[in-house]
Structure 1
Amino acid sequence: MKKLINDPRAVVDESVEGFGLAHADLVTVSADPKYVTRKDAPVAGKVGLVSGGGSGHEPLHAGFVGRGMLDAAVPGAVFTSPTPDQIIPATLAVNSGAGVVHIVKNYTGDVLNFETAAEMAQAEGVEVRTVLVNDDVAVEDSLYTAGRRGVGGTVLVEKIAGAAAERGDDLDAVAAIGDRVNQNVRTMGVALSACTVPHAGSPSFDLEDNEIEIGIGIHGEPGRHKIAMENADGITNRLLEPILSDLGTASGEKVLLFVNGMGGTPLSELYIVYRRAAQILAERGIAVERSLVGNYITSLEMQGCSVSVLRLDDEMTALWDAPVHTPALRWGV
Structure 2
Amino acid sequence: MKTKKLINAGDNAVDEMLEGILCAHPDHLYAVDGMPRAIVARHGPRQGKVGLVIGGGSGHEPTFLGFVGKGLADAAAVGNVFASPPPDPIIACATAANGGAGVLFMYGNYAGDVMNFDMAAEMLAMDDIEVRTVLTTDDIASAPRSQRDKRRGVAGNVFIFKAAGAACDLGYSLDEVERVARHANTRTYTMGVALSPCSLPQTLKPNFAIGEGEMEIGMGIHGEPGVARGALESADQVADTLLYRILSEMQADAGDRVAVLVNSLGSTPLMELYILMRRVSQRLDAAGLAIHTSLVGNYCTSLEMAGASITLMHLDDELQRLIDHPCDCAMFKAR
TM-score under structure 2 length normalisation: 0.95
Q: Measure how far apart 1:46 and its partner are.
A: 1.0
- Look up the SS of the partner of 1:164 in the other structure: helix
Deviation at 1:166, TM superposition (A): 0.6
Query: 1:41 deviation in Å?
Result: 5.1
| Aligned partners of 2:4 and 2:204 also within 8 Å | no
Classify the secondary structure of the residue corresponding to 1:192: strand
- Residue 33 of structure 1: how far off its partner (Å): 5.3
Of 22, 25, 50, the residue aligned with 2:24 is: 22
- Per the alignment, residue 235 of structure 2 pairs with 232
Tell me, yes or no, if structure 1 residue 90 matches structure 2 residue 93.
Answer: yes
Contact 1:108 1:146 in 2 (8 A): no
Deviations 1:252-296 (A, max 9, x none): 211111111111011111111111111111111111111111101
Instruction: Report the Cα distance in structure 2 between the residues aligned to 1:328 and 1:93, rounded to whole angstroms.
Output: 21
For residue 69 of structure 1, the aligned residue among 72, 82, 87 is: 72
Quick one: distance in 2 between partners of 1:200 and 1:248?
Answer: 43
Deviation at 1:304, TM superposition (A): 0.7
Equivalence for 2:39: 36
Superposed displacement of residue 307, structure 1: 0.4
Higher mean Cα deviation, 181-190 or 277-286? 277-286
Amino acid in structure 2 at the alignment position of 1:24: P
Selected match of 2:163 from 149, 160, 170: 160
| Percent of aligned positions that are identical | 48
Q: How many Å apart are 1:32 and its aligned residue?
A: 2.8
Pair 1:179-2:147 in alignment: no
Code of the aligned partner of 2:30: T
Distance in 2, matches of 1:146 and 1:82, equals: 22
What do residues 221-265 of structure 1 show as CA deviations (whole Å, max 9, x unaligned)?
221121101110001111111111112222221111111111101
Contact 2:266 2:303 in 1 (8 A): yes
Indicate conservation of the 8 Å contact 1:259/1:273, yes or no. yes
What residue ranges of structure 2 are gaps of 5+ in the alignment?
none
- Report the equivalent of 1:7: 9
1:155 Cα deviation after fit: 0.9
Q: Which residue of 39, 51, 63 maps to 1:60?
A: 63
| Aligned counterpart, 2:244 | 241
How far the C-alpha of 1:146 sits from its partner, in A, is 7.6
What is the DSSP-based 3-state SS (H/G/I as helix, E as strand, rest coil) of the residue aligned with 1:270? helix
Q: What is the alpha-carbon distance in structure 2 between the residues aligned to residue 57 and residue 222 of structure 1? A: 18
| Corresponding residue of 1:113 | 116
- Equivalent residue, structure 1, for 2:256: 253
Displacement, 1:329? 0.8
Query: Residue 124 of structure 1 aligns to a residue in which SS?
Result: coil
Distance 1:289 1:224 in 2: 30
**2:201 partner letter:** P
Partner of 2:52: 49
TM superposition score normalised by structure 1: 0.96
Conservation of the 8 A alpha-carbon contact between 1:194 and 1:206: yes
Amino acid at match of 1:163: A
User: 1: distance between equivalents of 2:319 and 2:239?
Assistant: 26
| Superposition misfits of 4+ residues, deviation over 2 angstroms | 30-33
Residue 287 (1) aligns with residue 290 (2):
yes
**Which deviates more, 130-139 or 146-155?**
146-155
User: Quick one: which amino acid aligns to residue 221 of structure 2?
Assistant: I
Match of 2:217 among 178, 202, 214: 214
Distance (whole Å) between structure 2 residues aligned to residue 217 and residue 275 of structure 1: 24
Amino acid at match of 1:38: A
RMSD of aligned alpha carbons:
1.4
Match of 2:103 among 96, 100, 103: 100
What residue number does 1:264 align with? Answer: 267
Secondary structure at the aligned position of 2:323 is classed as helix
- Partners of 2:49 and 2:115 in 1: CA distance: 26
